[in-house]
């Protein structure tokens, strides 16, 4: 277990669960009430009334924009979505067998070559880098997918909204405005979530005074794991394996009886409904109807129903869907391939990561050292209680 000293007393915690490591003004999760707040604004209100551009501005700049500020930011984001030729060359150089999220993590650090002052310590310079990352990650994901499919990337159209342009670059077709709006809302819902694994990773890297590109690349690496951003891809894999509605109950029961888990159900923080899942459930239903493909929503809803029923029956407790359960079926009807689910998560979350990087670098005084440096407890070595004695290789028989 991890060890540390707090007021003279030793404390231990596994995985830092429940340990407060920093102050933040970026976002807040209320696990008991099932609320998610971005800089004071409830996620439900933002999903209903805002746009991703406005939310990205809120996260990065710290307040909602005026009409003029939003217009200028939208133009800037659109212009910055255009990829330099050498970044496209790097995307082409990646083997087509690479997972798209690994391609993204590999290419993001190369953005430093286009920054004339990558270590300029000013807040304004960091803010420009944050906007550039928020814009270009979307283009990288779309371009990388086109290249691996054997097609040329589709240039960005700065006149379109961020979500609509992403779908256009991905599919080389003007998206249905209704589906573009659903993706816009999904990006809002995924834009930040307090001190999760990838955000903590980004802040830890930032605390070393590394560049924002290094921090975001590291965050993408953390996001790629199936217990974090890779979870919605696992949900889709599960739905494809189940196939039909009449197979849901036997699948869920067999899975739980064998000690397995149902991906998309349960959350490490929330003790009630994940507010994002509540919204995504409605979105998945709407999108399935818009695309005339309701099967994936129906299957997902049945998985939720059966899983909750089994938990009440056998474990005498409630379990709730998390953000991944319904986002899988939503992305599917938008034509997003399963292995792009995690990169699309990054398209949304890059604004949140950037906001945390800026906060970590320019935060008001906090009751913590500048550099993150937790401790661990050494629990021994294989050669017994005494120190190991070095022997030459030829004597290790």
Of residues 162, 190, 193, 267, which has the active-site annotation?
267
* 341-362 vs 100-107: helix crossing angle, rounded to 10: 30
What's the rounded Cα separation, in Å, for the pair 101 and 344? 9
| 103, 143 Cβ separation under 8 angstroms | no
Catalytic annotation present for 324: yes
What's the rounded Cα separation, in Å, for the pair 143 and 253? 41
Non-local (6+) Cβ contacts of 178 within 8 A are 286, 287, 290
* C-alpha distances out from residue 61 to 40, 130, 188, 207, 266, Å: 13, 10, 16, 20, 32
Of residues 132, 165, 184, 324, which has the active-site annotation?
324
* 323-333 vs 275-290: helix crossing angle, rounded to 10: 20
Instruction: Beginning with the edge strand found earlier in the chain, give each strand of the sheet holding 27-30 in spatial order.
Output: 27-30, 35-38, 41-42
Longest CA–CA separation in the chain, Å: 76
Of residues 28, 171, 228, 295, which has the active-site annotation?
228
CA 266, chain centre distance (Å): 17
Residues belonging to the active site: 228, 267, 324
């Amino acid at each position: 277990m991890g060890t540390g000293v707090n007021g003279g007393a030793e404390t231990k915690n596994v995985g830092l669960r429940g340990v407060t490591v920093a102050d933040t003004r970026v976002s807040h999760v209320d696990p008991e009430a099932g609320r998610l707040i971005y800089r004071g604004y409830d996620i439900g209100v933002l999903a209903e009334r805002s746009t991703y551009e406005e939310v990205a501005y809120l996260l990065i700049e710290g307040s909602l924009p005026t009409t003029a500020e939003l217009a200028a930011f939208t133009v800037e984001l659109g212009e910055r979505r255009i990829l330099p030729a050498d970044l496209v060359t790097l995307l082409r150089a990646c083997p087509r067998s690479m997972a798209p999220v690994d391609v993204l993590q590999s290419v993001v650090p190369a953005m430093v070559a286009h920054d004339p002052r990558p270590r300029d310590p000013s807040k304004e310079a960091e803010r420009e880098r944050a906007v550039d990352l928020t814009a270009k990650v979307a283009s990288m994901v779309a371009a990388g997918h086109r290249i691996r499919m054997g097609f040329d990337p589709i240039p960005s159209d700065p006149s379109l909204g961020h979500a609509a342009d992403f779908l256009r670059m991905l599919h080389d077709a003007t998206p249905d405005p209704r589906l573009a709006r659903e993706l816009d809302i999904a990006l809002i819902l995924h834009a930040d979530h307090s001190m999760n694994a990838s955000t903590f990773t980004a802040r830890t890297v930032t605390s070393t005074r590394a560049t924002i590109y290094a921090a975001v690349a590291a965050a993408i690496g953390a996001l790629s794991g199936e217990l974090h951003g890779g979870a919605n891809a696992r949900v889709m894999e599960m739905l494809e394996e189940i196939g039909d509605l009449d197979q849901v109950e036997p699948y869920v029961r067999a899975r739980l009886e064998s000690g397995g888990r149902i991906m998309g159900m349960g959350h490490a923080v929330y003790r009630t409904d994940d507010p994002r899942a509540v919204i995504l459930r409605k979105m998945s239903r709407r999108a399935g109807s818009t695309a005339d493909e309701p099967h994936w929503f129906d299957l997902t809803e049945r998985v939720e129903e059966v899983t909750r029923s089994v938990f009440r029956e056998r474990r005498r407790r409630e379990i709730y869907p998390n953000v991944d359960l319904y986002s899988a079926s939503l992305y599917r009807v938008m034509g997003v391939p399963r292995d792009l689910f995690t990169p699309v998560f990054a398209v949304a979350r890059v604004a949140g990561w950037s906001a945390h990087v800026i906060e970590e670098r320019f935060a008001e005084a906090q009751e913590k050292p500048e550099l993150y440096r937790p401790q661990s407890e050494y629990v021994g070595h294989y050669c017994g209680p005494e120190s190991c004695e070095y022997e030459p290789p030829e004597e290790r028989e």
